Amino acid sequence: MLNIRIEPIAQKKPKPDQNKLGFGNYFTDHMFMMNYTEGKGWYDPRIVPYGDIALPPAAMVFHYAQEMFEGLKAYYTADGTVQLFRPQKNIERMNNTNERMCIPQLDPDDVLQAIKAIVDYDKDWIPTADGTSLYIRPFIIATDEHLGVHIAKNYIFAIILSPVGSYYPTGINPVKIYIETEFVRAVKGGTGYAKVGGNYAASLKGQEKAEKLGYAQVLWLDGIHRKYIDEVGAMNVFFVIDGEVVTPALDEGNILPGVTRDSCLALLRSWGIKVTERKVSIDELVQAYDAGKLDEAFGTGTAAVISPIGELNDDGKIMTLSGGKIGPISQRLYDTLTGIQWGKKEDTFGWTVKVN
């Protein structure tokens, strides 16, 4: 159990217009912080005003990227309570990432307490407009002032909060995705399954290319065969092929084990829809498209929720899906998932956790 001290902000900031939030543009009045030093463990848990973190220029995170982050959301429900969606899954993934990045483990109960405490403290920032939520971004950085490539002995764990609308400016409307064949995001044995900034830095070159061509994001292929589908930049990906839902399996360690991905698998199975986690090759997709059997495609993620894919570009071959509209499975998943998250639908899975 953490003993969290509180240092309130002197003057609260004005709140942004809830209908123009976008994603990750605004930050609340406070943040949670805690330090770690080898031999001492995690210490000084505190809620302090949101503001700059002063670090020496030689702080290791700036040079060797020993860091990690997470992403989850808090929702205002119809009955005025605030709830989180499956926070334990994020916390579990957080410690898996820490293990890969040689960052010290956190006590899962302490992390949940910290998340609840900061969300509750800044709850006046949780937006209530349709389709909005409070995005929670926990992260850890290595802070040793040192230039040798070693595991750090000092870290900061922080949680910042951002009131958000939809991740894509198009909202729930389908996005156009570019299949990347030149650059890769992750390889077997790398950090693909971990939530680390380096994976996203490695994705920027492909993302830049895709955006110049008018695409929202990149669909990444595996780094070895350049053949099997991994994931989209900020989302896991699902395809509906001839009535069967398929999504790339996690076993190669290249893919982020998404909480939304896992929830979609559970929902689809509970509806009796056939869903398989397996390798999906780009050739299989193209063949299914040519045979008129690629019924739907969608991305899943905390930030993106369910994002239908309206177009795939495979080296100039344009595949238009569901007539460029949201398909029935994507729509049902979106409605059910967001219904549970906003407390409008019964949570039969026990996924939601009250903050207050």
d(CA 12, CA 20): 20
Q: Tell me how far, at minimum, the Cβ of 71 lies from ligand COI, in Å.
A: 2
Contact 331, 264 (CB under 8 A): no
Q: According to CB under 6 A, which one of 234, 265, 306, 329 is a site residue for ligand COI?
A: 234
Looking at 32-40, 224-232, 297-305, 335-343, which segment touches ligand COI (CB under 6 A)?
297-305
Verify binding: residue 71, ligand COI, rule CB under 6 A. Answer: yes
**Residue 183: exposed, middle, or buried by beta-carbon count in 10 A (0-12, 13-18, 19+)?**
middle
Q: According to CB under 6 A, which one of 302, 307, 313, 336 is a site residue for ligand COI?
A: 302
Q: Which residues contact 119 (CB under 8 A, 6 or more apart)?
A: 74, 82, 84, 126, 134, 136, 161, 355
Which of residues 258 and 310 has its CB atom nearest to ligand COI in the complex?
258
Place of tokens 């407009």: 129
Q: Tell me how far, at minimum, the Cβ of 84 lies from ligand COI, in Å.
A: 13
Rg of the chain over Cα atoms, rounded to whole angstroms, equals 21
Which of residues 68 and 288 has its CB atom nearest to ligand COI in the complex?
68
Which of residues 62 and 200 has its CB atom nearest to ligand COI in the complex?
200
Q: How many residues bind ligand COI (CB under 6 A)?
A: 6
d(CA 27, CA 13): 9
Looking at 122-130, 301-309, 311-319, 333-341, which segment touches ligand COI (CB under 6 A)?
301-309
Q: Tell me how far, at minimum, the Cβ of 60 lies from ligand COI, in Å.
A: 22
d(CA 204, CA 36): 31
Single out the residue of 231, 250, 353, 356 nearest to residue 304, CA to CA.
Answer: 231
Amino acid, res. 174: P
d(CA 333, CA 136): 22
Which residues, numbered 189-228, are part of the site for ligand COI (CB under 6 A)? 200
Q: According to CB under 6 A, which one of 303, 312, 321, 333 is a site residue for ligand COI?
A: 303
Q: Which residue of this chain has its Cβ atom nearest to ligand COI in the complex?
A: 71
Place of tokens 């969608």: 298
Which of residues 4 and 256 has its CB atom nearest to ligand COI in the complex?
256
Looking at 40-48, 101-109, 287-295, 298-306, which segment touches ligand COI (CB under 6 A)?
298-306
Which of residues 267 and 319 has its CB atom nearest to ligand COI in the complex?
267
Which of residues 9 and 112 has its CB atom nearest to ligand COI in the complex?
112
Contact 248, 82 (CB under 8 A): no
Q: Tell me how far, at minimum, the Cβ of 259 lies from ligand COI, in Å.
A: 9
Q: Tell me how far, at minimum, the Cβ of 137 lies from ligand COI, in Å.
A: 8
Which of residues 70 and 144 has its CB atom nearest to ligand COI in the complex?
70
Angle between helices 108-121 and 87-100 (to 10 degrees): 120
Q: Quick one: three-class SS letters along 236-264?
A: EEEEEECCEEEEECCCCCCCCCCHHHHHH
Q: Tell me how far, at minimum, the Cβ of 302 lies from ligand COI, in Å.
A: 4
d(CA 92, CA 323): 39
Q: Tell me how far, at minimum, the Cβ of 101 lies from ligand COI, in Å.
A: 16
Q: Report the SS3 class of residue 70.
A: coil
Place of tokens 């398909």: 327
Amino acid, res. 6: I
Which of residues 234 and 294 has its CB atom nearest to ligand COI in the complex?
234
Q: Tell me how far, at minimum, the Cβ of 152 lies from ligand COI, in Å.
A: 23
Which chain residues interact with ligand COI by CB under 6 A? 71, 200, 234, 301-303
